[in-house]
Structure formats: C-alpha cells, structure tokens
Structure 1
C-alpha cells in the first residue's frame, strides 16, 4: 500500500497583515463606575447614539447589557467593542 502525502493547505496563503499604527486598535472602556440601573447614553459612532438603562453587567465590568429607552430591546456590549457609555445626569432622561 502506497501512502500519499497531502499538499499543504497553507502553501501560498498569507494572512491579512496587522495594522502598523495603534489607531486601528480600540482601547478598552472602563465601565467599573457605571452602576446597574443607571441611565446611560450608548455612543456607537460619531453620528449614532441612543439612551438606555444598564440592566446587568459582569463582575469585572467588561460586559454590560443595556435596555434601550427607544424600544430597541436589550443589547450586550463588550468593553473592547468601541462603544462608549456616558452616564446621563438625573432629570435629563
């Protein structure tokens, strides 16, 4: 019985090079001061944001769940997703 060698699957393939600048990497947000139940503005991009209530978060504050005040449901956000959470002062909700 003759054994055949399979060709390498990696031959000729190259991955996407990593960016040279640190601008392409998102710095993690520190959400440790944001309390469950507080109202926050969720800033997704320079032109898109919405207000919601923090429904839950992990003990290390790296993941939060926000219930949208505009009826878009509950969303999970990670601290490295590029999402900014800004506390909304009381009375301005």
Structure 2
C-alpha cells in the first residue's frame, strides 16, 4: 500500500498526505482525506473515536455531514492538514 498519494494534474480528485494505518493514532480534530469504494474523495475532520481506533465519527468539510466509519469498512484514510 502506498504511503503517499500519487501525483496527478488535478489534485482535488486525489488524496494528499500519508496513509493512516492505525486509526488509534488519529487525534480528535485532526483532518483526513477519505477514499472509499464508489464514493467521491471526502475531506473530513475527526469528530470522535473509540480508544482503540476501530470506530471514527467524521465531519465532512463543506457539508458538515457527520458519518460513522468502521476500521473494517473498505476505505483508506490519508492524514492531511486543514
């Protein structure tokens, strides 16, 4: 699995930052790019998480939509800055 997002002319369609392998390392209020199957790229803030990092609540930038994500979901998170 790559540690950096691939370079591309339209960076708005691709994630930035490093892959987050251990969600327990994410702090509340940190920012991530979410790449999930059959979904557009989402930039979101970690709103809450379980101590072991198996469950995250994310708030999407722009829409404010709050979603629950499980570590077992088919997605990849990339650590970013806001």
For normalisation by structure 2, the TM-score amounts to 0.66
* Residue in 2 that maps onto 1:50: 42
Measured in 2, the distance between the counterparts of 1:58 and 1:51 equals 20
Deviations 1:14-62 (A, max 9, x none): xxxxxxxxxxxxxxx5212111110110111376211010000011110
The aligned counterpart of 1:84 is 76
Matched, 1:60 2:52: yes
**Aligned positions, number:** 62
User: What do you get for the CA RMSD once the two structures are aligned?
Assistant: 1.8
Task: Detail structure 1 runs of 4+ shifted over 4 Å in the superposition.
Answer: none
- Pairwise CA distance, 1:68: 0.3
- 1:6-25 matches, within 5 Å, as none
